[in-house]
Amino acid sequence: MIIMILVVGLGNPGKKYQKNRHNVGFRAIDELRSSQHFASARVIDRLAKQKPKDFVLAEPQTFMNKSGQAVKSLIQFYKAKPENLWVVHDDIDLPLGEIKISKNRGSAGHKGVQSIIDALKTKDFNRVRIGICPKTGKSKNVEKFVLQNFTKQEEEILKESIPKTIDLLMSEINKVNKTQNYEV
């Protein structure tokens, strides 16, 4: 039996937001798409499909706060189960570059994640949380902070943490799927 795996990176569409802290989910998906895991992937409307069409990478072209609409459409279109959904996103509660995997937990104030929870009516999906909090601590204006670009020093940390994120993500997906006799 083929299990449909959806890996969705969260961010905001458009060149204006490309280097924003809120777009590390998109950046991770871009890196994953070009990694050895997806060397032969075709890019179609910012979705990549790996043979045998059992794995989909997506960057919703809705804005962050409306991510749930796009994710729900993907789940329905591919007839996937929420437990086979992996959402990659920024996390202001984690230090810059730290990576955590979680499942079945609340949004912790992340509006993109909350949008997905609301649309799917469940928290039973996997999350890959990439820390964006600088050493100086959280900004008081979180919404303004997440829409700012990373500094040059922060970009250097990301250059190391994004590939680690991909390795961790693929390792976790394979670990879960081996229990179902399936490997990506």
The DSSP string of 99-137 is: EEEEES---TT-HHHHHHHHHHT---SEEEEEEEE-TT-
| pLDDT of residue 1 exceeding 60 | no
CATH number of 5-178: 3.40.50.1470
| pTM listed for this prediction | 0.86
What is the tens place of the pLDDT at every residue in 57-70? 899 999 999 999 99
Region 88-94: what's the mean pLDDT?
Answer: 94
Region 5-29: what's the mean pLDDT?
Answer: 93
99-103: strand order across its sheet:
42-44, 47-50, 55-58, 5-9, 85-95, 126-133, 99-103
From CA 184, how far away is CA 173, in angstroms rounded?
8
Lowest mean pLDDT among 6-15, 125-134, 139-148, 168-177: 168-177
Q: Are 165 and 99 in contact (CB under 8 A)?
A: yes
Domain boundaries of the chain, sorted by first residue: 5-178
**Enzyme catalytic residues:** 22
| pLDDT of residue 50 exceeding 70 | no
Nearest to 71 by CA among 62, 32, 50: 62
